[in-house]
């Protein structure tokens, strides 16, 4: 059964870098499931920086913005799977649903079901699964309904994933704070895999 580590924190807190270092402390092969859809030049450059940081480090990559449980289910054989990130995944779910159903979108219950499906797909693997997400509940209340819905959906997602995760790390100013379990940079001993 998989070991699940959730890495959370604010924007530019070091989440992705920490998740990558944690993944690279584990044996190969490694898989990154990228959820970002680079829709502008700045985002394309961010994605390219992340690609360069993994170059020549034995990474495979799957780009999957919506069907994260499906991508996870197809990840058998990897020692470690890094998902970067749940924040973009929830955003993609919101926009995909809105495009599909005019005026529609996901409810918290529907996102909760997607998270449960993702966790089931994770637990079916024999791997360490590292999920990166943003903490969105520490700021002001958003001033518009779409932004409040996004905060609520991602907050619900984070709660569900954190409750089931073996370890939860909160990143602040590049420093990891252990909230649950252990997510040190040491690989899982072979007798516990």
Rounded CA separation 62/163 (Å)? 26
Q: Is residue 26 annotated as part of the catalytic site, yes or no?
A: no
Spatial contact of 21 and 132, defined as CB atoms under 8 Å apart: no
Spatial contact of 60 and 108, defined as CB atoms under 8 Å apart: no
Q: What are phi and psi of 175, to 5 degrees?
A: -110, 135
**Hunting for tokens 């991508």 — which residue is that?**
71
- The one catalytic residue in 46, 50, 54, 151 is 50
Structure tokens at 181: 């379990």
Strands (E), the chain: 3-9, 30-34, 59-63, 80-84, 128-132, 167-172, 175-180
Structure tokens at 171: 């990143």
Q: How many CA atoms lie within 13 A of 59 on its CB side?
A: 22
Residues classed as catalytic: 50
């Amino acid at each position: 059964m998989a070991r699940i580590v959730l890495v959370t924190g604010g924007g530019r807190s070091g989440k992705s870098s920490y998740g990558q270092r944690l993944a690279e402390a584990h044996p190969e092969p490694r898989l990154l499931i990228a959820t970002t859809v680079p829709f502008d030049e700045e985002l394309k450059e961010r994605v390219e920086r992340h690609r360069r940081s993994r170059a020549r480090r034995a990474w495979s990559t799957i780009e999957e913005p919506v069907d994260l449980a499906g991508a996870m289910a197809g990840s058998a054989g990897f020692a470690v799977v890094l998902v970067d990130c749940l924040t973009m995944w929830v955003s993609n779910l919101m926009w995909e649903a809105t495009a599909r159903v005019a005026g529609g979108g996901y409810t918290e219950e529907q996102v909760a079901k997607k998270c449960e499906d993702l966790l089931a797909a994770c637990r079916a693997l024999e791997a360490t699964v590292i999920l990166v997400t943003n903490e969105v509940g520490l700021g002001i209340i958003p001033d518009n309904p779409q932004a409040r819905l996004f905060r609520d959906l991602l907050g619900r997602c984070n709660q569900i994933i954190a409750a089931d995760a073996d370890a939860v790390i909160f990143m602040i100013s590049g420093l990891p704070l252990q909230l649950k379990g252990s997510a040190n940079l040491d690989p899982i001993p072979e007798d516990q895999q």
